[in-house]
Amino acid sequence: MDLRRLRTFVTVAEQGTVSKAALHLRTAQPALSRQILDLEEELGVRLFDRVRRRLVLTSEGEQLLGDCRTVLGAVSSLGDRAQHLRRGDSGILRVAATPQTIEGVFATFLSRHAERRPNVQIKLSEAVGANLLGMLERGEIDLAIALVGLLREVKGDYRTIESFDLAPIAFLAAYPASLKVGSGGTVDIGRLASYPLLLLSSSFYVRATFDAACRLAGVKPDVFMESSSPQALLALAEAGHGVAVVPSVLPTNRYRLRIARITHRRKPLRETLAVLWDKRRALPPYARDFCESLAAHMREVLPHKLTSS
């Protein structure tokens, strides 16, 4: 069986269209369409239905998608294991994280890690939400830095994912001094409903967590703007356009803003940030050291000194 066809099938299923998959794989669309047809002929089942320019998995396709991911993962793991055996304590560690984690943690961590492990090269990629887990499944990265709750939110069987807890991440309300939002460094999520909110887009798992907390509190947020750029939200809040809701991993000290921890029923709204990996694949021997070093670094840089409100 041609592994290219399996890889094409998985990518088209994840991207939703042949055109997007072609861009992702840097392959011409006709070639990808031909590979899908050849795979369907080889397997004897139809994998996709075409619905309004999108390709939707058939029931057979849904059942075979997991098996194809397993096959591709096993092949990737074989190559990784051989490479790690050859290199020992030197090599490449492929890591993906959200933009706010890259800015708030990796911007300062990478140079320190390089001093400790000069023969280990960190290749850093940016991804959010379900894309982080997809990169793990496809073997494109060794480690993903994500909130552990993401495994509950995203549809799929992720029993093969292992995790290493790094630090608790609080949800923060960032607002100009002209707004009287919270008191004592905290603000109840119900009170935020009366302010225009600046929120991360739905592709971020932190947004799903915030929306779920709003539903539990019985409030409907007044969304002024959604953005995939946390910095844009903070800049708009600084200019007086509302309250930005951001995770505490994001640096806020460069903005003229007051910061309050968001609570629900007097309990802080927070999630645990962790390192995730696929246990079916061999990790390089220096991956554990990376996890422990990153956790220690986050304990040092993450605590926020909140301005009184």
User: What tokens were used for 207?
Assistant: 């947004």
Q: What is the pLDDT of residues 131-152, one digit of tens each?
A: 998 898 888 999 999 999 888 7
pLDDT over threshold 50, residue 61: yes
Strand partners, 243: 197
- What's the pLDDT band for 283 if we cut at 50, 70, 90? confident
pLDDT value for 309: 37
Cα distance between residue 265 and residue 70, in whole Å? 43
Cβ atoms within 10 Å, residue 195? 17
Mean pLDDT on 285-291: 90
Please give the pLDDT value at position 308. 35
**Proportion of the chain above pLDDT 90, given as a percent:** 44
pLDDT tens digits, one per residue of 257-266: 999 999 998 8
Looking up tokens 């009366």 gives: 194
Q: Is 232 helix (H, G, I), strand (E, B) or coil?
A: helix
**For residue 86, what pLDDT is reported?**
57
Which pLDDT score is estimated for 29?
85
Q: Report whether pLDDT(307) > 50.
A: no
Handedness of CA 45, 46, 48, 51 (dihedral sign): negative
Strands of the chain, DSSP E = 48-51, 54-57, 91-97, 120-126, 143-147, 161-175, 186-188, 196-200, 222-227, 243-247, 258-264, 267-268, 270-278
Tell me the pTM: 0.69
Nearest to 155, CA basis, from 22, 14, 47, 36: 14
For residue 158, the tally of other CB atoms under 10 A from its CB is 15
